[in-house]
Structure 1
C-alpha cells in the first residue's frame, strides 16, 4: 500500500507564493535540489492542482543542455512518474503519463493508494487541503525557506487541524530546513 505525501516548499511564515504569485525566493540551490530529488524517487504518481501542474509541466520540455546534474535528475524523476491533474478548466495535456480529473474524489485516491506499490505525492495547497480534510495524507514534508514574505498563497488551508509526529529533520547550508512528519491517525 502506498503512502500519500504532501510535500511543499514554503516561506518561514507558511506561504508557497507571495501576494503577486511569485515563488522565485523558493528556488532550491543544488544541495537542497539533490535532497528533494532523493525524497521524490519513491513517488510513482504526482497528484497536482492545475496551477502546480502548469508550473511543473516545464520539466517535461525544458532544454537541459548546460544545466547541472540535479536538474537532469529531477527531470527524469518527473517524466518517469504518472500524473493526475485536478482541473475543471484544463482540456488536454500533452504527456501520455498524465490524465485529467475534474473533481477530487477521496474514494478514488484511497483506491489508488491501496493498489499502488509506490508512494503518491499530492501537491498544491488547495488539493492537499482536500486530501488532508479527507484523512488521506500519511506524511507531510516541509522545506522551510528562510524568507518571511508577509502574505500570499498559504501552504496549508484554514480550518484544517492535523496532529503530526516528527520523523526526520535536516538543515542545509542555505538555511533551508527540511521537516518530515507522520500524520497521527
Structure 2
C-alpha cells in the first residue's frame, strides 16, 4: 500500500530551523545520512514547498562531483579536494559516499513544487503547482506504485489537515533552539509509534503511524 510520508530533521523541541532560518545544527552525519538513503529508495514522488525545493536544488548536480577515484591529486570530501591521498578519516569517506548516493536517489524521484512565485525549475522530473489541492494529491496517491514524501512543514500542514498523511518520520537532533519554524502543525495529532532508532551523536529516529 502506498503511503504519504512526512519526514523532518528537527531539534529536540520540535523546530526544523531557528528564528533566523538557520539549520546548520541539523546536518546529518554519515550514519544518519546512510539510513535516510535507505528510506528514500522507496519514494517515488516528492511534494515540496518552494523553500524546501530551493534548499534541495544542489543535490541535482552533486552526483557528478569529483570522487576519490577521479581525483589524481588527493581525496575529495563532499566535493572538496583533500591533499594527501587516501588518509581521510572514515567518517568523511562515509559522508561523501552517502552524499553522492542521496544525490542519485534525488535525481530519480519525481518532484512537485508548490509555489506561486516560481516560473521555472532547474531540476529534472519536476513540475510547479500553484497551490496544494487535496483531491489532486489523492489522485496521485491512488495511482502511485511507490511512497510519496512531503518536504517542508508548510505543505505538510495542508496534507495533515486533509487527512492524507499516513506516517510521520522524525529525526530528533540533541539541540534545543527555543523557537523558529515548527516541524509539526499546531493541532492535535494522534500517533502510534512504529519504530525507533538511536544513532551515534545522539540523533533519535522516530517513525509513527497517523491514527
Q: TM-score, length-normalised on structure 1?
A: 0.96
Q: Which residue of 2 aligns with 1:40?
A: 40
Q: Which residue of 2 aligns with 1:29?
A: 29
Q: Which residue, 93, 96, 99 being the options, matches 2:121?
A: 93
**1:111-126 → structure 2 map (5 Å cutoff):** 111-126=139-154
Q: Deviations over 1:104-161 (max 9, x none)?
A: 0000101101000000001101100110010000000000000000111111122x22
Flag the structure with larger Rg. Answer: 2
Distance in 2, matches of 1:32 and 1:179, equals: 13
Distance in 2, matches of 1:82 and 1:88, equals: 19
SS in 1 for 2:127: strand
Q: Which residue, 173, 196, 199 being the options, matches 1:172?
A: 199
Q: How many residues align?
A: 183
Structure 1 runs (4+) deviating above 4 angstroms are none
Alignment RMSD, CA only? Answer: 0.9
Q: CA deviation at 1:180?
A: 0.3
Distance in 2, matches of 1:151 and 1:96, equals: 35
Q: Which residue, 108, 133, 140 being the options, matches 2:136?
A: 108
Q: CA deviation at 1:2?
A: 1.7
Q: Deviations over 1:42-76 (max 9, x none)?
A: 00000000000000111012353223110111001
Deviates more, 1:71-80 or 1:55-64: 55-64
Distance in 2, matches of 1:28 and 1:96, equals: 25
8 Å CA contact 2:57–2:122 kept in 1: the answer is: no
Unaligned stretches of 5+ residues in structure 1: none
Q: Deviations over 1:12-46 (max 9, x none)?
A: 00000011101010000000000011111100000
Q: Which residue of 1 aligns with 2:82?
A: none
8 Å CA contact 1:64–1:71 kept in 2: the answer is: no
Q: Which residue of 2 aligns with 1:183?
A: 210
